[in-house]
Structure 1
Amino acid sequence: MSPFSTPPVVAIVGAGPAGLFAAEYLSGHGCHVEIFEQMPSVGRKLLMAGRSGLNLTHSEPLDLFITRYGPAQDWLTPAVLNFPPDALRRWAESLGQECFSGSSGRVFPKSMKASPLLRAWLNRLAEQGVQIRTRHRFTGWEASRLTFESPSGPVTFAADATLMATGGASWSRLGSDGRWASLFPAETSPFKPSNCGFMPNWPDDVLQRHDGEVLHSVGLSFQGTETRGDLTITPRGLEGSALYALSASLRDAITSTGTATLSLDLRPPLSEDAILKRLQNQRPRESQSNRLRKALSLDSASREFLRQATPKQATPLQLARAIKALPIVLTGTDTLDRAISTAGGLRQDALDEKFMVKAHPGVFAAGEMLDWEAPTGGYLLQGCFSTGLAAAKGVLGWLESSVSGIR
């Protein structure tokens, strides 16, 4: 039974996963919920993520899962434990989206797409009375009312509580432009790219010449952490999930010292000795390029990178060592707007344990606008859903305390 004689009004700013999930919880617990979204439609970044397969979460053990949030794990652990990966999977299935775990442990809907899930989700929200206003950009407060820019001009809205879920500062064309940070200057850490590409100290013509080529199943290591996956060459540098997993430490090293040296293993399954034997079995008169191609099936990009990193008349041993640990000096990140996600945002010390902004009673925050980061693999969406629910529960508790007079 609802404790409210009249449904309290909750404004949710932002219609991504965190905002929509908070709306579902609050509307299901006696609140009148209105969502304000600055874009013409909702869930745009979610739909973009679904274009390559909607990776909802990950099936690895929860104690390992939590560590993926790095320095923010202590902050996010209560929220993730309260709504863990298994709960997110069951929720998706309650919308008719059966899920499966891939060979890497990543969890996807069987449809692999975001659109069927989003359609079913919006139908549920409509049935619960949630109202969505698109093309409404949040601009702040006027007295106690929220203010927005809309197609019809300035709009104000009175709410009993507000939940902010406006995203980070990457992919601005999808709605995450970070402009909200100007409203919380004392509470916000500067944005930084996360899960981003990096620029090596190679001549521009090398990148242009190999644009679009992929180094398949290579190994990467930095500061004792090793990853494996595909590395894509673009005119801006290097991209790929294996690189994204190292992005936080690489970015921070570049910020601190100006460069970061990444170690690239071009043939992870083979030992240095095995590579050396294959090279020694080639005819001495063969060119270095032909020996690398015939002995190890190295593509043209890998062969060029080895030429740059080894002496002109490199010995088989020098080549073998370079193939297993090719140094790549990185000098910068790709642009903030092109990053898959961002670090920075509302700091932990600016919020209470219920995700309320201390300087703004009745204003709560969730999702990527909070100062945390995680690698790709389902951790980003899980963090948005878990903090969305945690902030929604904070809102409900705050509203109930006002009814009982104990706030």
Structure 2
Amino acid sequence: MGDALVIGGGPAGLMAAETLARAGHRVTVAEAKPSFARKLLMAGKSGLNLTKDEAAPAFRAAYGPLPDPVAAALGNFGPRQVMDWAEGLDQTLFTGSTGRVFPHAMKASPLLRAWLGRLEDAGVALRRSWRWTGWEGDSFRFATPQGEVAQRPRATILALGGASWPRLGSDANWLPLFSARGIAVVPFAPANAGLRVAWSDKMAPSFGTPIKGVAFHAGDTVSRGEAVIGRHGLEGGGIYPLGPALRAGAALQVDLCPDLSHADLAARLVRVPRKASVSTRLRRGLGDDPGRLALALECGRPLPQSDALAARLKALPVVHAGLAPVAEAISSAGGVDAAELDPGLMLHRAPGVFVAGEMLDWEAPTGGYLLTACFATGRHAGLSAAAWLDARET
């Protein structure tokens, strides 16, 4: 057994292991699944968005409130550092028109292969199918293919993930272990999740249709991204930023013509003959856009025939049943309470044990922010664990 044990082989855990190894410590990584970073690989199937290349104030503002250690971690390891790190793994990068940064390969597998190879070259022991089953005094017990194993490291980093995509490893099975130790955890909730809407049968032909060029409003949050009409509701980047407001019970309204004033839209509509059908009137206002037309017909009825139609289209109410379950979300809010941690992400109730990644109570939008914070907190915990080890050698 080495100096340090990292439990969890996702981005945060692997970054913690790399940081410890670079500091000269012997590291073992224990991953419950037969392979590493499954959630990273899944995210990379649609293009691995590593980070967001934007000015530090805008980048930081995208997260909203953060625990102090997470904010410090991001301050020390932000977009530029993520890009330098990836290029150090021989990944050439490009930045899209919105600032999102991707490897030219787009997929996560080339980067992950290079990363695991570099870790092994640094002497990191990679243990697959090692599931942590709990504490036993100062030891950590695992169920492994070889039977039960106990490890007693000098420092440990837990990077076990949140509660989204449990089939890929973020199953929150560690919650009872923390509860038994008296460690407070803010309940997990869906983040970057679809919105549940009970459509009428008339919406079935529109499933899979994108909704473009609109503004989604919930509470004080406005999103100009796109969404897709799905069987169970609305999904996509236009909905995800509204998660905190929707979780808090905010109503959803959609401005179907955000680039037109109410007066301009009303003027368009008034030019339509009063005997024209509702569909004709809507097309005059919305254009021949199937997504916006379907949403207006579904959620706007009974559609007014007068000038009030413009007001309805500028603030279309969408009755919803809340966000999709956390297991179906891209990420999760909630996690280990910040009060349980010191500035180095060490647990007050378990000296020498540090926490990183989505286990912590923070959330972020998609667009590179999630992955950057996982890298950053993994590095932060790794540096803190290395300092802890070094202090005990002097």
Task: Give the 5 Å matches for 1:314-393.
Answer: 314-393=304-383
Higher mean displacement: 321-330 or 387-396: 321-330
Q: Any conservation in 1 of the 2:30–2:127 contact (CA below 8 Å)?
A: yes
Q: Secondary structure at the match of 1:189?
A: strand
Task: Give the 5 Å matches for 1:196-211.
Answer: 196-200=193-197, 202-206=198-202, 208-211=204-207
- Separation in 1, partners of 2:11, 2:220: 34
The reply to whether residue 263 of structure 1 matches residue 253 of structure 2 is yes
Amino acid at match of 1:65: F
Q: 1:310 to 1:44 in 2, by over 3 A?
A: closer
Residue-pair matches, total: 391
1:293 pairs, out of 283, 300, 308, with 283
Q: Secondary structure at the match of 1:173?
A: helix
Q: Secondary structure at the match of 1:241?
A: coil
Aligned twin of 2:158 = 164
The reply to whether residue 235 of structure 1 matches residue 240 of structure 2 is no
Offset of residue 206 of structure 1: 4.8
Q: Any conservation in 2 of the 1:190–1:344 contact (CA below 8 Å)?
A: yes
- Separation in 1, partners of 2:175, 2:372: 23
Amino acid at match of 2:236: G
Q: Deviations over 1:287-328 (max 9, x none)?
A: 111332355324455334434554646225222222221111
Q: Secondary structure at the match of 1:72?
A: coil
Aligned twin of 2:60 = 66
Amino acid at match of 2:366: T
- Separation in 1, partners of 2:287, 2:313: 12
Task: Give the 5 Å matches for 1:132-143.
Answer: 132-143=126-137
Q: Secondary structure at the match of 1:179?
A: coil
Q: Secondary structure at the match of 2:382?
A: helix
Q: Deviations over 1:227-281 (max 9, x none)?
A: 11111122221111121111012102x2xxxxx3111022223333332333333
Aligned twin of 1:127 = 121
Higher mean displacement: 232-241 or 281-290: 281-290
Q: 1:261 to 1:118 in 2, by over 3 A?
A: same
- Separation in 2, partners of 1:204, 1:27: 57
Q: Any conservation in 2 of the 1:279–1:291 contact (CA below 8 Å)?
A: yes
- Output the TM-score relative to the length of structure 2: 0.93
Q: 1:182 to 1:206 in 2, by over 3 A?
A: farther
Q: Secondary structure at the match of 1:263?
A: strand
Q: Secondary structure at the match of 1:107?
A: strand
Q: Structure 2: state its 5+ residue gaps.
A: none
- Separation in 2, partners of 1:75, 1:316: 55
- Separation in 2, partners of 1:223, 1:103: 29
Q: Any conservation in 2 of the 1:207–1:236 contact (CA below 8 Å)?
A: no
Amino acid at match of 1:130: V
Q: Structure 1: state its 5+ residue gaps.
A: 1-6, 255-259
1:111 pairs, out of 81, 105, 129, with 105
Q: Any conservation in 2 of the 1:204–1:235 contact (CA below 8 Å)?
A: no
Q: 1:152 to 1:206 in 2, by over 3 A?
A: farther
Q: 1:206 to 1:168 in 2, by over 3 A?
A: farther
Offset of residue 284 of structure 1: 3.8
- Separation in 2, partners of 1:366, 1:298: 48
- Separation in 2, partners of 1:37, 1:332: 33
- Output the TM-score relative to the length of structure 1: 0.91
Q: Any conservation in 2 of the 1:144–1:158 contact (CA below 8 Å)?
A: yes
